[in-house]
Amino acid sequence: METKKVAFYTLGCKLNFSETSTIARSFKDEGFDRVDFNENADIYVINTCSVTENADKRFKTIVKQAQKTNPDAFVAAIGCYAQLKPEELADVDGVDLVLGATEKFKLTSYLNDLSKNDQGEVHSCEINEADFYVGSYSIGDRTRAFLKVQDGCDYKCTYCTIPLARGISRSDTMNNVLKNAKEISEQDIKEIVLTGVNIGDYGKGEFGNKKHEHTFLDLVTELDKVEGIERLRISSIEPNLLKNETIELVSESRAFVPHFHVPLQSGSNDILKKMKRRYMRELYMDRVSKIKEVMPHACIGVDVIVGFPGETDEHFLETYNFLNDLDISYLHVFTYSERDNTEAAQMNGVVPKKVRSKRSKMLRGLSAKKRRAFYEEQLNSTRTVLFEGENKEGYIHGFTENYVKVKAPWNPELVNTLHEVELTKIDEDGLVRFDFIKELAS
């Protein structure tokens, strides 16, 4: 009997990628072969995202792509958008199955019959039932893995649908995280990126209730001891949960790299209050100062939202100037888009789309300037580069521990190796060139 084939497409965040990988492994256990999404498969699984308007629109395009490759294939939608708008996804032509937050990890048990449905079948739960934890990690490429340590969120930010899509904050057990980290390290993967919805909240819900036995600081302390992992990276952590002790641990760590991604969302205290963020800009400034005090070469990335309801020109300039003066390295800029069932969608002071777009462009320009300045500061310094596996137009790329992107002529022997280099100059494409110092590891 011919082996059934499954293909996956992941929209959104690192957390989604780690979960797709785990679900893919469950298919392998059931005897399926995994193929690329653009190849002929019996089942196409699309892991959806609800963070931006764009992710919603892209879903339909991806379904069409699957149908074009194999019109008879079974199409399943899982993930955040599938939890928030299951009926809407089920109505998309070609979709056969929609699974919400609690069901997605049981996808293989819904596949007794792979015949096409006239209407997508929906299995989603009330989000308050999403109170159990499923650990996962991705090993999509050989260089790095995304390790999920936490899921859900108890915050009530007024623009965000994630608590509606993923449920309450809950964590993996310390033992399981360490077990997964060891499994990853045994596969010759050099870097682990810790991921979750609100990873600084780690510990909460570790035992299926709100009892805390461990904290995020405990987690990073224990992970730092796992042998065989060259690098550990914290993906994104709320400023109010990034404690001095964690920053100090990273600065003295064996494996944690000097790279932080800390969401700001707005540099205006007025807007932060409307967003129901749990800090003011002064605390954010304090976090950045602390990082730079103990790790002057650290890379700091920032999430920022433009065009939130009520954001006047003055508020936006406050954000722009705040970021311009701050010692940060790059920005992830999000243009605010209204999401159903959020407080912000009901707020007055809607910012016209054209204005949102203009503000977004200004901050993207500022991000390019910040990144360039950060790269220039790193020139003539000695760093360690982990090389990636892709040949991009005759070049191999890699990242230093503090997230400077470098390039060199393609050499397959460099893939997934660490080397000590001296950063020498910035190329015309904005990436950094270097000289090898000595071989670090093979």
Instruction: Check residue 442 and give its pLDDT.
Output: 45
Instruction: Check residue 110 and give its pLDDT.
Output: 83
Instruction: Check residue 204 and give its pLDDT.
Output: 87
How far is residue 9 from each of residues 23, 44, 75, measured CA to CA in Å?
12, 8, 11
Higher pLDDT, 118 or 45: 45
How far is residue 433 from each of residues 266, 416, 427, measured CA to CA in Å?
34, 18, 7
Instruction: Please check the confidence at residue 299 and state whether its pLDDT lies above 70.
Output: yes
- CB-CB neighbours of 1 under 10 Å: 4
Residue 418: its H or E element: strand 418-426
- CB-CB neighbours of 112 under 10 Å: 6
Contact 127, 161 (CB under 8 A): no
Beta bridge partners of 304: 265, 333
Instruction: Check residue 281 and give its pLDDT.
Output: 98
Which of 99-108, 318-327, 412-421 reaches the highest mean pLDDT? 318-327
For the ranges 184-193, 321-330, 368-377, 404-413, the lowest mean pLDDT is seen at 184-193
* CA pair distance 58, 434, nearest whole angstrom: 38
- CB-CB neighbours of 175 under 10 Å: 10
pTM above 0.85, yes or no: yes
- CB-CB neighbours of 393 under 10 Å: 6
Give percent of the chain with pLDDT exceeding 70.
90
Q: What are phi and psi of 394, to 5 degrees?
A: 85, 5
Mean pLDDT of 96-113: 83
Where residue 322 falls among pLDDT bands split at 50, 70, 90? Answer: very high
Instruction: Check residue 440 and give its pLDDT.
Output: 47
* CA pair distance 274, 219, nearest whole angstrom: 32
Three-state DSSP class for residue 380: coil
Instruction: Please check the confidence at residue 203 and state whether its pLDDT lies above 80.
Output: yes
Torsion angle in degrees (nearest 10) through CA of 336, 340, 344, 349: 70
Residue with structure tokens 């990636």?
Answer: 388
Contact 184, 229 (CB under 8 A): yes
Give per-residue pLDDT as tens, 166-178: 888 999 999 999 9
Eight-class DSSP state of 116: P
Instruction: Please check the confidence at residue 441 and state whether its pLDDT lies above 70.
Output: no
Where residue 407 falls among pLDDT bands split at 50, 70, 90? Answer: very high
Question: How does DSSP assign 279-346, residue by residue?
Answer: S-HHHHHHHHHHHHHH-TT-EEEEEEEES-TT--HHHHHHHHHHHHHS---EEEEEE----TT-GGGG
Higher pLDDT, 25 or 269: 269
Instruction: Check residue 282 and give its pLDDT.
Output: 98
Nearest to 289 by CA among 300, 278, 279, 275: 300
Q: How many residues does the chain have?
A: 442
Three-state DSSP class for residue 144: strand
Average pLDDT value for the chain: 90
Instruction: Check residue 126 and give its pLDDT.
Output: 61
Instruction: Please check the confidence at residue 119 and state whether its pLDDT lies above 80.
Output: no
Mean pLDDT of 247-265: 97
Give percent of the chain with pLDDT exceeding 90.
70
Q: What are phi and psi of 55, to 5 degrees?
A: -60, -35
Instruction: Check residue 206 and give its pLDDT.
Output: 75
What's the sign of the alpha-carbon dihedral 130, 173, 179, 230?
positive
Instruction: Please check the confidence at residue 113 and state whether its pLDDT lies above 70.
Output: no
* CA pair distance 336, 304, nearest whole angstrom: 10
Instruction: Check residue 102 and give its pLDDT.
Output: 77
Task: Provide the CB-side half-sphere exposure for 77 (13 A, CA).
Answer: 33
How far is residue 68 from each of residues 62, 63, 97, 175, 240, measured CA to CA in Å?
10, 9, 18, 44, 47
Instruction: Check residue 171 and give its pLDDT.
Output: 93
Mean pLDDT of 401-410: 97
Q: What is the CA radius of gyration of the chain?
A: 22
Instruction: Check residue 127 and give its pLDDT.
Output: 56
Instruction: Check residue 207 and give its pLDDT.
Output: 72
Where residue 162 falls among pLDDT bands split at 50, 70, 90? Answer: confident
